[in-house]
Structure formats: structure tokens, C-alpha cells
Chain A
Amino acid sequence: MATLTQQESATAERLVVTDGARKIFLTIIIAGVVLLVAGVLAAIFHWGAASEATGTVAHQAGSPLWLKRIIVSLWHSNLFILGISAVGTVFVAINYVAYAGWSVIVKRIAEAFSVWLIPGAIIMFVVFLLGRHDIFDWTREGVMTKGSATYDRIIAGKSGFLSTPFYLIRMVSYLVIWWAFSWKLRKLSLEEDLNGGTQYFHTSVTTAALFLVLYAVTSSMSAWDWIMSVDVHWFSTMFGWYVFASWWVSGIAGITLTAIFLKQNGYLRFLNANHLHDLGKLMFGFSIFWTYVWFSQFMLIWYANLPEEAVYFNQRLGGFNGQYTAIFFFNIVINFFFPFLALMTRDAKRQMIVLKIACIAILVGHWSDFYLMLMPGTMRGENGFLIEIGVAAIFLGSFLLLMTRRLSEASLIPMNHPFVEESIHHTT
């Protein structure tokens, strides 16, 4: 068995995260903090026209408005990035199971994405333990006790599933499963770099297959737990897939965007238009898939028009004085029409600039998709953007800091992966 060192391998290359890059990431975080502070001040002192209206509406029970908004947006942005993080591992796993060769060149990027699983899990626990009453109605005091003033018969009927201990057990299992498989696949990949041989590849395929089965179940269930239970009276059987589609297409957009940035800074010298073309095809295809799932959910509810189902879209289309109507349509335009038309031609998928714009649009679009899933159920009509965008920027900066550090820990292109050669000569 041949052992290649870094110097001997023809494909190895190391990423050096410069101070300049770190400064950019820190600037994103600082900009986020500034926005956050501005948003909190605006919320406390009722600046701006939007807060005039909220002043008249009786504020619901719970934390003060600014704190509630911080808690919800922490949950929101963390969910989004945690999902993308897990998708990194799903991407690696799917490519192993499919014996795909072309993707080996971007495999390390996908692996590096899973770095957010641990910080994300910690943030999720802290937010849930401290702020769950502001996010989930079903955690409120007395909501499931018969005879109490806040008793809700429908929520009480779901008490078997939505009890805090069981919820925490499920949360731990999802996160542990995702983290453990990410860790295992990463470990196999790094050992393969050192030792070579095909046994790491075969072990990875088995591990990946097992992970995909577990992920299919846990991603769907986590979507019910973390997002659908916000609108606790409402339910949709499409929801698990809908959230997965959102995470998945954002994850692919993230991987593509990272690859393009690395390429433009002189790394990934074997990456060419053929690899970008395939990533672009995945983005294009899964944008349509997301729309398909979104529309399947929307049309059945719209057509049947059952009150307990339609309330979800009533809130988003014209509810709360039309607070969410604009973002509802923005969501469809940026997540479907824009990528669909922009990425349709072959040339568009092979040009970095078009892909870059499409990636950013998809990431922004799906962040707003999660916004639209969470805000009407938690903030009602008191939603805003300053705090939310601030928190998102803090998360983005921190994610980039950790992700690039993980990326610089190993060669950007796996050295002894059996399909490296195939990936380098990939043509479409």
C-alpha cells in the first residue's frame, strides 16, 4: 500500500486562510452586531412606521418584543445554517452511495460544512431551554392541563408527542446521528489521505448508506419538531420534504459558492466549468424540486380550503394586515422563477458570475423561506428585519470562520480517493 505525503501527491493543495479573509468574516459579524443593536433599540423605542402599528396591538404574553425577536431569529438562522451543515454530509453520503466520481473535487467543501453541527446543536439547546416559551405555544404553562385558563384541547391532544422531555430526546438523537456520521465520514476521508487504498472508500459507502436511511427519517421528523410545531394547530404531510428541499438546495448553493470563491482566489486548480456545470444542474433541478413540493403543499390546501389547514396560508397571504404578503411572493420569485430562468441554459451554468448570483439568490431566498415558516407563528404581526438580518450576519460570519478553518486542516482535494483522477478529467 503506497503512502503518499503532502509533497508527493500531485493533486494535494492546502488552503491558507489569510488575515484579510478572517477580517472580512469578522466584519460580517461586527456588521451583524451593529444591525442587531440598532434593531433592538428600534424595537424598544418604537422607531419607524412599522412599530407604530405594533404599539396599538396588545403584546402577547412572554418576553418583551425585542428579546422575543432575538430568540426567534436565533432559532431561525441557526436552523438554516444547521440544516446546510447537515446537508454537507448528505451531499458526501449521496455521492458515495452513487459511486459518483465528478464530485470528489468539491467533497472537502461539503465535509467542511458539517463543522457547524456542534456549535449549532449547543445554540439550539440553549435557545430551546431558555426561550422555548417564546417560540412554541405548546410549551406554555397550563396549555395541556384541563381546567387551566390557557387550556387548548387541540394542543392537549398532541401531548404524547409534544412533551418537553420526549422533544429533547428526539432533538438529541437527530443531532447525535448527524454529528456522528459526519465525524465518521470525515475521519475515514482523512485517514484515506494518509494511508491510501480502497478499503476506506468501501467503508465510507456502507457508512453513507446507513446515514442516508437515518437522515431521511430524522430530517423529516426534525422539520416537524423544530418548525412545524411552531404552528402547533396546523399540520402538513408535505412539510418534512419541503424543509429538506429548502436545506438541500441551499446546501448545494453554499458548496457551489464556496468552490467559486476558492477558485477565484487561486485554489482548486483542477476545478473547471464541467464541475460547475454539474453543480449548477443540481441547483437548477432542486430549485424546481423545492417549488414542486412547495406547490403541492399549497395547492392541496388552497383547493380543499379546510379552515384548520388554510389558516397557514391565510396568515401568510394577507394576514396580519398583509405583513407577509410581499415576502410570500418574493419567496416564489427568488426561489423558483429566478434560478429557473437564470440557470436554464448550458452557458449560464458554466459561467462563474451567473452561478454566483444564482447561489446568493438561492441562499437569501431560502433564508427568507425559513423566515416565512417561522415568523407568522411566533411573532404574529410584530415581525421585523433589522434584528433578524443582524443575527443572520453574525451566524454567517461565524460559520465562515469555522468552515474555512476546517477547510484549511486538510488538502482541498482528497489525495487518495479512488475517483480523484476521474473527477479531474470530468467532462459534461
Chain B
Amino acid sequence: MTKRFALGVFDDEDILLHAIDNIRSAGVKIYDVFSPYPVHGIDDALGIERSRLPIAAFFYGLCGLSFALWLQIYTLGFDWPMIIGGKPQIGLPAFIPVSFELTVFFTCHGMVITFYTITGLYPRFKTPVMDVRSTDDKFVMAIELDETSSAMPKLTQLLRENGASEVNQKEMTKK
């Protein structure tokens, strides 16, 4: 599916932050903002909700911990019991390092995979980029245009008034 975007290009992060406030209060929905580096306070300005990734991380950790405990208790306690150093076959203190490592392993891999899937930033051959200069020294604000709309001139004016150095239009193929 092809979507059309109005792209406002900004040179300065302070101007950008003010522009975000003004444009949002003018009732325009901002699709996303692309910047070469993390800008302080931009999440709040764009009204982005706090990520629920930490909650997912907790459950990945819980999975890792359960898997690690199951692995050790089942293999060392039931499937192939061995006496090591005269310790009980299910000697929990000895299981803690492995449980810790697997908890961390599951948490970090789960988080990375979830993050890539949700944001669409996973590695691939052709990466859709709104404007390549947003990886260098420009801030790019994308506003989605609906198909029938003839809002482009009005948007151009709004972006210009709020300090955009240029305004472009771009079609992107998105799922």
C-alpha cells in the first residue's frame, strides 16, 4: 500500500520542538519525526506513550528463569541424577549462576527481537527512509496525507511558518 507524506525538514532541534507543539495544537496529526540523534523531551512533545517493553522484558526474564530451573532440576535431579561433590542432586545454590545467565539471555534476546519487530528497524536489504539527511544533520517531520486530501498547500504553509527550511512530498510503500 502506498502512502503519501508531507515532509518538513528542520535544521535545529529547538525550532523542531516548538514546531511539534504548534503543529499538534493546530490539530494536525504527526506521523513521526526522524532525527540523527535522540532529542531530549521529544517523546513528551510528540505525545508518545511510554514503551511497554520493560513489561515484556519482565516476562521474558521469568521465562528464562523457569526454563533454567526446569533444565537443571530435570536433567540433574530426575533424568540423569549424579552426585557431585556430595551435594544434593537438586542443590539450588549451585543452580543460581546458570539461572541468572539464562534469565539475562532470554531477557535481552526477547527485548531485541520485540523491539525490532515492533519498530520495523530489523536489518534487511532495502530500508525505507523518508529523507536520508535525517541520518546526517537534518530533522524530518512526516505528516501523513490522506488520499483525497488537498491539504498539501495548507500544510506547507504551516510547516514553513514553524521554521521548516523546506517541505517535500514523498510516497512510501508500507505494509
Contacts and interface: CB of A to CB of B under 8 A. Distances in A.
A295 B92 CA distance: 12
A173 interface: no
Contacts of B40: 427
B96 interface: yes
Contact of A302 (B50, B54, B58, B93): B93
A346 B54 CA distance: 9
Interface in B74-127: 85-87, 93-94, 96-97
Contacts of A53: none
Contacts of B50: 346
A303 B87 contact: yes
Contact of B94 (A299, A344, A346): A299
A36 to B, nearest CB: 38
7 contacts: A295-B96, A299-B97, A302-B93, A303-B85, A303-B87, A346-B50, A427-B41
Contacts of B87: 303
The prevalent SS among residues of A at the interface is helix
B54 A298 contact: no
Contacts of B58: 344
A interface, how many residues as a size bin?
10 to 19
Contact of B54 (A295, A303, A345, A427): A345
Contacts of A303: 85, 87, 93-94
Given A299-B96, A427-B40, A427-B41, A305 B54 contact: no
A82 B80 CA distance: 52
Nearest to A296: B97
A346 B87 CA distance: 40
Contacts of A345: 54
Interface in B39-65: 40-41, 50, 54, 58
Nearest to A347: B50
A298 B85 contact: no
Contacts of B86: 305
B88 to A, nearest CB: 11
Interface in A11-46: none
Given A295-B96, A299-B97, 9 more contacts: A298-B93, A299-B93, A303-B94, A305-B86, A344-B58, A346-B50, A346-B54, A427-B40, A427-B41
Contacts of A344: 58
Contacts of B54: 345-346
A299 B87 CA distance: 12
- Closest 3 pairs between A and B when the two form their complex, measured CB to CB: A299-B93, A302-B93, A303-B94
B39 to A, nearest CB: 12
A299 B91 CA distance: 11
Contacts of B94: 299, 303
A45 B86 CA distance: 46
Interface in A270-314: 295, 298-299, 302-303, 305
Interface string A395-428: 0000000000000000000000000000000010
Interface string A184-210: 000000000000000000000000000
Nearest to A425: B40
Interface in A165-191: none
B115 to A, nearest CB: 17
Given A345-B54, A346-B54, A427-B40, A305 B96 contact: no
A344 B87 CA distance: 33
Interface string A340-353: 00001110000000
Interface in A209-246: none
A427 B41 CA distance: 9
A305 B85 contact: yes
Contacts of B41: 427
A316 to B, nearest CB: 14
Contacts of A427: 40-41
A277 to B, nearest CB: 13
Contacts of A302: 93
Contacts of B97: 299
Interface in A116-140: none
A295 B97 CA distance: 10
Contacts of A295: 93, 96
A305 B50 CA distance: 49
A346 B94 CA distance: 32
A309 to B, nearest CB: 14
B57 to A, nearest CB: 10
A427 B42 CA distance: 12
A344 B59 CA distance: 13
A298 B93 CA distance: 9
A68 B58 CA distance: 48
Contacts of A305: 85-86
Nearest to B44: A427
A248 B93 CA distance: 25
A298 B87 CA distance: 15
A102 to B, nearest CB: 14
A302 B86 CA distance: 11
A228 B94 CA distance: 25
A298 B50 CA distance: 39
